[in-house]
Amino acid sequence: MSQDFKQAALDYHEFPRPGKISVELSTLAETSRDLALAYSPGVAEPVREIAKDPDAVYRYTAKGNLVAVISNGSAILGLGNLGPLASKPVMEGKALLFKRFADIDSIDIEVDAESPQAFIDTVARIAETFGGINLEDIKAPECFEIERALIERCKIPVFHDDQHGTAIVTAAGMINALELAGKKLEEAQIVCLGAGAAASACMKLLINMGAKVENIFMLDRKGVIHSGREDLTPEKAAFATETDKRTLEDAVTDADVFVGLSGPDLLSPENLLKMADNPIVFACANPDPEIKPDLAHKTRSDVIMATGRSDYPNQVNNVLGFPFIFRGALDVRATAINEEMKEAAVKALADLAKEPVTSEVLEAYGLQELSFGREYILPKATDSRLLGVISSAVAQAAIDTGVARLPMPANYPL
């Protein structure tokens, strides 16, 4: 990052006033009557209605369009455990994206908790305020325990975006990349470098959609996760295979897919050369990928390449998923975001990449043309159709699986 860009980032967050979000009034508050209706004595009327019927809270308050973005700051971006206060710019940024892309009101909450259980208790006690909870930047393995407990305790959708948002966008891109490579998910040999929250969620979702667990080789800092290891967490043990592969070099030999959720420059050109024909490389470490696209293409002319960066084609970016997934879930008042809803989002996102690209997208990216292919396997973030197709797919899946409390809204598709 250049010094100019670093200063621009600081200025962006400081001016014209500190931060990226604010609270605005949604109704009139100008006259004495307005104030009497907004607060005492008028506010007593919705209070009485909600006391009689808890669902009335959705009629008389902002709950139904309000998502909390909550973190303990234990895994901030690629920066590590810097604490809850340092996570606030990221959480505000997430709230900005909710509003910008799906018109969802969002507030960031940074929790200074001494243990996972304290974090769980804190979030569970405030959950009634919100229509949904987006967990963010929580380290593994405690993030698994936290999400599981909150899903059980809360009556609203709880979604750890670092896990499932990453998985949904990765799976959508993977389906399209495999199609272009002439390969099938159920037959593909997949290497996953990294064994944290995002990696586990990505592989679980791919398995749910047809990948074979015996064809997946996951690696942590100690090498391939295999059935002979005795140092595995339950999350890692789910991917332990009977294999004599031990190193990354072993794993990538003849592999069809490499998914990197680890660190910079960890996939060497020599290892890329060992992969099968038409290799698919998702090098998603940010800001520096496991292998840079220009080096990958120089090494293999047949590689299909994706990264987490916006300055290269095929960006794997959670903003393609979470705003629209929550939009669909909120609009049918879903009690959870289940596997079927995630899979519906994957398919909707993958299918949209095959549609003709609109002029708004071309203009936003300064392009003359763009179409489904090796350098366009995922829609661009500025594609306004994302809101309609993903929210509708997620809402319908919620209805079909019985977690929706409302029918499909009359104004759908958005």
Domain closes at, from 276, 307, 338: 307
Query: Is 136 marked within a binding site?
Result: yes
Q: Tell me the DSSP string of 357-409.
A: PPHHHHHHHT-S---SBTTBSS--TT-THHHHHHHHHHHHHHHHTT--SS---
CATH code, 105: 3.40.50.10380
Handedness of CA 308, 309, 312, 313 (dihedral sign): positive
29 and 153 share a domain?
yes
Distance of CA 5 to the CA centre of its chain: 25
Q: Are residues 255 and 172 in the same domain?
A: yes
The pLDDT value given to residue 78: 78
4 to each of 8, 10, 11, 32, 121, how far by Cα in Å?
6, 10, 10, 50, 43
Q: Does residue 213 form part of some domain? A: yes
Residue 369 annotated as lining a ligand binding site: no
Same structural domain for residues 127 and 171?
Answer: no
Percent of the chain with pLDDT over 70: 100
Does 292 lie in the same domain as 208? Answer: yes
Residues 366 and 293 in one domain: no
- Note whether 83 and 221 are same-domain residues: no
Inside any domain, residue 411: no
Same domain? 323 vs 384: yes
**314 part of a folded domain:** no
In a domain, 372, yes or no: yes
Which residues make Cβ contacts (< 8 Å) with residue 276, sequence separation at least 6? 189, 254, 255, 256
Does any domain span residue 139?
yes
Residue 2 covered by a domain: no
Residue 15's SS3 state is coil
- Helix %, strand %, coil % of the chain (to 5): 45, 10, 45
Q: Do 156 and 168 sit in the same domain of this protein?
A: no
Same-domain pairing of 77 and 36: yes
In a domain, 313, yes or no: no
Alpha helices in 83-217 (DSSP H): 88-102, 116-126, 142-153, 161-181, 197-208
Considering 307, 328, 357, which residue would you say is the last residue of a domain? Answer: 307
Order of strands, edge to edge, in the sheet holding 132-135?
105-110, 66-71, 132-135, 158-160
Q: Which amino acids are annotated catalytic?
A: 39, 94
How many structural domains comprise the chain? 3
Q: Can you say whether residue 17 is alpha, beta or left, with left for phi > 0 and alpha for psi between -120 and 50 degrees?
A: beta
- Output the domain CATH number for residue 211: 3.40.50.720
Residues spanned by the domain of 220: 164-307
Do 22 and 150 sit in the same domain of this protein?
yes
User: Of the residues 121, 141, 162, which one is the last residue of a structural domain?
Assistant: 162
Distance CA 257, CA 285 (A): 16
| Position 4 in a domain | no
Query: Does the annotation list 286 as a binding residue?
Result: yes
Whether residues 200 and 248 share a domain: the answer is yes
In this structure, what token pair is assigned to residue 368? 């003359």
Domain shared by 126 and 186, yes or no: no
pLDDT beneath 70, residues of the chain: 1
Alpha carbon distance, N-terminus to C-terminus of the chain: 38
pLDDT tens by residue, 230-275: 999 999 999 999 999 999 999 999 999 999 999 999 999 999 999 9
Q: What is the pTM of this model?
A: 0.94
The pLDDT of residue 79 is: 86
